[in-house]
Amino acid sequence: MPNGDVVLKVNNLKTYFHTSRGTIKAVDGVDFEVKKGKTVGLVGESGCGKSVTSLSIMGLLPKHLAKIEDGGINFNGVDLTNISDRELRGIRGNEISMIFQEPMTSLNPVFTIGQQLSEPLKQHTKMNKLEKKKRIIEILTLVGIPRPEGVYSQYPHQLSGGMRQRVMISLAMLCNPKLLIADEPTTALDVTIQAQILELIKEIKDRTNMSVVLITHDLGVVAEMCDEVIIMYAGKIVEKADVKTIFNLPKHPYTKGLLKSRPGMSQSGRKQKLESIPGSVPRPDEMPIGCTFAPRCPFAMEKCFSEKPPLYQLEKQVSRCWLHENEGKEIF
Ligand code: SF4
């Protein structure tokens, strides 16, 4: 059971996909917690397991394919892996909300914004029609939508991408969730709108003291938004630390690679050339025997190709790498 300050505690989560080509360990023993009012970033390239982690928390995995094989997801004292679908539906969209990258795939094109925003209020509250409309206008105003009464009667295709994402945020905020899971919420937006949407999430978070799990591949977004950062690679956590440590004192070679591949400015103000990490994330059915990052790692040693590194507790972070063998305490 997490302590009072901890809203979400994910404990040794293992989510596997069972396919005709064998078992894919999409999430393989992930541990982290999210405290009240804090933002935790789940970071990595696509295929690292971050979205499967969030879908496991939301209970939105495709049931015929994926299964939580082990571990617990404790939300406010309730183990989400151990409750009925009905109980989970009662929590989802109410106490835990989620926003996705592309609002057009989440908003239904044939219903007006007002109709779509009424749904969670119908499901989770006893408000009458008028109270619902009042709450919807209030929330559309809160997320900075101009002419909220007009937007109430509009369809998603009549709004810009930025406005649609604001509607998605209002949908997520309707029932005052304790936890927001935001999966690449700004990737599909242009840079100016991206900054506005991030600012909006931050503002709402500060005002309501909600907790946020932010899934992103973008370390610029992490620097803006997060308190704690979890770097994932091939279904496992490879480094976990507070945001300052990740940027100032990264320890894992993958984290260092991600930091080098983010766009930056030189002192002269010119854009610096990016160094990208060579190669790509291994296919889940072709995982290397030793460290999964070894084929891409500039520090790889012989041992790295044959033995899996454990997670080491270092002074300011945990990191999964043989380089810490003489420096850290093995935790598992
Ligand atoms: Fe690189 Fe070896 Fe560390 Fe893996 S264990 S990240 S291959 S140095």
The residue count of the chain comes to: 332
- Measured in Å, residue 13 CA sits from the centre of ligand 1 at 23
Q: Which residue has the CA at smallest separation from atom 3 of ligand 1?
A: 321
Which atom of ligand 1 is nearest the CA belonging to 238? 6
In a domain, 220, yes or no: yes
Which residue range is the domain that position 68 belongs to? 6-95+175-262+275-330
In a domain, 113, yes or no: no
Taking the C-alpha atoms of residue 77 and residue 5, their distance in angstroms, rounded to an integer, is: 11
Evaluate whether 248 touches 317 at the Cβ level (below 8 Å).
Answer: no
Evaluate whether 231 touches 49 at the Cβ level (below 8 Å).
Answer: no
Protein residues whose CB sits closer than 6 Å to any atom of ligand 1: 253, 291, 293-294, 297, 299-301, 304, 309, 321-323
In a domain, 146, yes or no: no
In a domain, 17, yes or no: yes
Taking the C-alpha atoms of residue 143 and residue 169, their distance in angstroms, rounded to an integer, is: 7
Cβ count within 10 A of residue 228: 20
Which atom of ligand 1 is nearest the CA belonging to 309? 5
What total number of domains does the chain contain?
1
- Measured in Å, residue 79 CA sits from the centre of ligand 1 at 34
Mutation test of ligand 1: which of 237, 312, 322 has the most ligand atoms closer than 8 Å to its C-beta? 322
- Measured in Å, residue 121 CA sits from the centre of ligand 1 at 49
In a domain, 231, yes or no: yes
Taking the C-alpha atoms of residue 119 and residue 300, their distance in angstroms, rounded to an integer, is: 52
Both structure tokens of 317: 């972070």
Q: Which residue has the CA at smallest separation from atom 7 of ligand 1?
A: 294
In a domain, 19, yes or no: yes
Edge to edge, the sheet with strand 228-233 lists 96-99, 179-183, 211-216, 39-43, 228-233, 236-242, 317-319, 312-313, 329-330
The pLDDT score that the predictor gives to residue 265 is 47
In a domain, 1, yes or no: no
Counting beta carbons within 10 angstroms of the beta carbon of residue 267, is it exposed (0 to 12), middle (13 to 18) or buried (19 or more)? exposed
> What DSSP letter does each residue of 158-206 carry, written as one string?
GS-HHHHHHHHHHHHHTT--SEEEEESTTTTS-HHHHHHHHHHHHHHHH
| Cα end-to-end span (Å), the chain | 21
Mean pLDDT by 10 residues, the chain (332 residues): 80 93 91 97 92 92 90 95 91 89 77 94 92 94 93 95 90 90 85 86 92 93 95 97 97 96 60 74 88 97 97 97 92 76
In a domain, 132, yes or no: no
- Measured in Å, residue 249 CA sits from the centre of ligand 1 at 17
Residue 179 is part of a domain; what is its CATH number? 3.40.50.300
- Measured in Å, residue 304 CA sits from the centre of ligand 1 at 6
